[in-house]
Amino acid sequence: MQTIPPHPSYSSLVAVGDSFTEGMSDLLPDGSYRGWADLLAARMTARTPGFRYANLAVRGKLIGQIVDEQVEVAAGMRADVVTLVGGLNDTLRPACDMGRVRGLLTEAVERLAPSCKQLVLMRSPGRRGPVLERFRPRMEELFACVDELAERHGALVVDLYGAPSLADPQMWDVDRLHLTAEGHRRVAEAVWQTLGHAAEDTEWRVPLPAEQPPGWLTRRTTDVRFARQHLLPWIGRRLTGRSSGDGRPPKRPELLPYEGPAA
């Protein structure tokens, strides 16, 4: 059973991971992404003047790339809090060596846990749908590994996978892979509470009111558009070993004082 600190006092945060932590698809007017980690850092900045924040996450990264490119950098920053979310992209590849994924995740946790006051891991959110169902056993094996590592190394686990609200299709963008702004807000709330802060939203797990389901023709048109614009390019990258993050730098590579995300 994880122990949540009763009166947390943190002065710095480093976020490590992939598109989920980068902030897709919480799109700002200038075309950049905000996301739950920025929102969490803004809350912590309001509580602690001079709060420092780095976000090393890059979309599309596999757990091996996270270990090679982000973990050592994050550990060297000696932040109070480090969040690590990775491995899910691996589970969605056609071929996936889960033993290797577990080993790399273990390596990341063993390096990061001693470098910070509090390591935070997550059971990533997952919406329901036919595309993801075939990968669900791998996802759940990954989350079991997360739980075991947290128990062994004193990390906190944010259980987003078990939250009904984040399985709601209304929380997911049109690409069906990334959360909306409201989804990211709820993740920030979940991490905030897990770190021991008083709840600002006690019902973040509660789904939105149900929408009137669209008609058959609208659903089919939406499915065709989704397949053409998102699913087929995604499958193409998986099959060719390419990533949407190839060549892309982290959005916030240095641990510096944070002024908060854009509105």
| Residue 212 DSSP SS3 | coil
Q: What is the mean pLDDT of residues 246-261?
A: 88
Averaged pLDDT score across all residues of the chain: 87
Contact assessment for residue 24 and residue 178, using Cβ atoms and an 8 Å cutoff? yes
pLDDT in tens, 33-46: 999 999 999 999 99
pLDDT for 231: 53
What is the CATH topology of the domain spanning 12-256? Rossmann fold (3.40.50)
Domains of the chain, residue spans: 12-256
Asked whether the predicted pLDDT for residue 131 surpasses 90, the reply is no
Dihedrals φ, ψ of 88, to 5°? -65, -40
pLDDT band, residue 147 (cuts 50/70/90) = very high
Q: List the one residue out of 59, 58, 83 whose CA is nearest residue 177.
A: 59
pLDDT for 195: 97
As a whole number of angstroms, the distance between CA 56 and CA 256 comes to 13
Asked whether the predicted pLDDT for residue 58 surpasses 80, the reply is yes
Q: Under the phi-then-psi rule, with left for phi > 0, alpha for psi from -120 to 50, and beta for the rest, what region is 15?
A: beta
pLDDT for 223: 46
Report the range out of 70-84, 121-135, 241-255 with the highest average pLDDT: 70-84
State pTM to two decimals.
Answer: 0.85
As a whole number of angstroms, the distance between CA 84 and CA 96 comes to 20
pLDDT in tens, 148-204: 999 999 999 999 999 999 998 889 887 768 899 999 999 999 999 999 999 999 999
Share of the chain above pLDDT 70, in %: 79
As a whole number of angstroms, the distance between CA 25 and CA 175 comes to 9
pLDDT in tens, 10-25: 999 999 999 999 999 8
Strands 12-17 and 252-257: unpaired
Q: 25: cis peptide before it, omega within 30°?
A: yes
pLDDT in tens, 210-229: 766 655 554 455 544 544 55
What CA–CA distances, in Å, run from 13 to 72, 131, 233?
A: 15, 34, 33
pLDDT for 219: 45
pLDDT for 102: 98
